[in-house]
Amino acid sequence: MAAAWLTCVLTGCGAELEQGSEAAADPTPEAVEQAPVASVSITDTYTLAGCTSTSPLTNNSPTYGVSAPPGDFSCDYTLYVPSGAASVTFNTYGGSGSTAHLYVKHEAVPTLSSYDCKGTLGSPSNNNQSCTVNSPAAGTWHVRVYNAGSSQTLNNATLRGNYVTGGGNPNPPTGVLTLGQTVSGLSGAKDSVRYWRVTVPSGQNFLTVRTTGGTGDSDVYVSRDVQPTTSTYENKSNNGGTTESCATYVISPGTYYVMMHGHAAYSGVSITATLEP
């Protein structure tokens, strides 16, 4: 009987007994002295259902194809912000399937409960979210997109990170667009943006911004007091190519912002702003 039980222990329960062995009943504790069992430590690793990889962003350049499963985050994206930056802004737009929420954190991956900046909703229909940190600390900023939906996957959203230097502009040559003076030799990638600031005095009716020359396709957007985006603006040009004109009615004097957006890649373009009394 003891020999039969030992065979089961060594070969695994359910192993056949050697010929001639008895298998009438299990041995009792009094019949067999149980061998000591060595302690075993079991370690398992659990990961989030969403993406856990990290990819760097290029300043002021779009990253396409951002996705996230229902109720979870996208991959982690990072943007290095140099010392002395005036601000850093992250935004999302486009995509389908669900609603995107933007989370940003300095030197760590953001979560729903731990973040330095959370996106403000621009439009739930196209996932426009924006998150700006003024006077950001230098270093690596992490950004993730959270899928707030419970059943559908967020697909093909676009993410952009943009730090602005102390001069207040993301790309040289940018800055103040002096009335009547032309800035030439402008180029940019598809979906790239650059900004100028124009001061409009009283007694004017229209601020007209024109682009000429070069190749590709660029668009002009104008807004008062705040930088325009492709979805929020007071006026925009409607032509294809790089010959564009945008005449904005001056409701009141003040600061107007001009954005050049790369509808496609462009190069060799010039821009001029003029006033009409």
Output the tens digit of pLDDT for each of the chain's 277 residues: 444 443 333 344 444 444 444 444 444 444 444 444 333 332 222 233 568 789 999 887 889 999 999 999 999 999 998 888 878 889 888 888 888 899 999 999 999 999 999 986 654 556 778 888 888 999 999 999 999 888 999 999 989 898 876 544 444 445 788 899 998 888 888 888 888 889 899 888 899 999 999 999 999 999 887 788 887 788 999 888 999 999 998 877 888 889 999 899 898 999 999 998 7
pLDDT for the residue 103: 96
pLDDT for the residue 244: 94
DSSP the chain: -HHHHHHHHHH-TTPPPPTT---SSPPPTTTSPPPPPPP---------SS---EEEPPTT-EEEEEEE-TTSB--EEEEEE-TT-SEEEEEEE--BSS-EEEEEEESS---SSS-SEEPEEEETTTTEEEEEEESPPSEEEEEEEEE--SSS-EEEEEEEEEEE-TTS-SSSS-EE--TT-EEEEEEE-TT-EEEEEEEE-SS--EEEEEEESSEEEEEEEEEESS---SSS-SEE---STT-EEEEEE-SSSEEEEEEEEEEEEEEEEEEEEEEE-
Domains, the chain: 1-34 (no CATH), 54-164 (2.60.120.380), 175-276 (2.60.120.380)
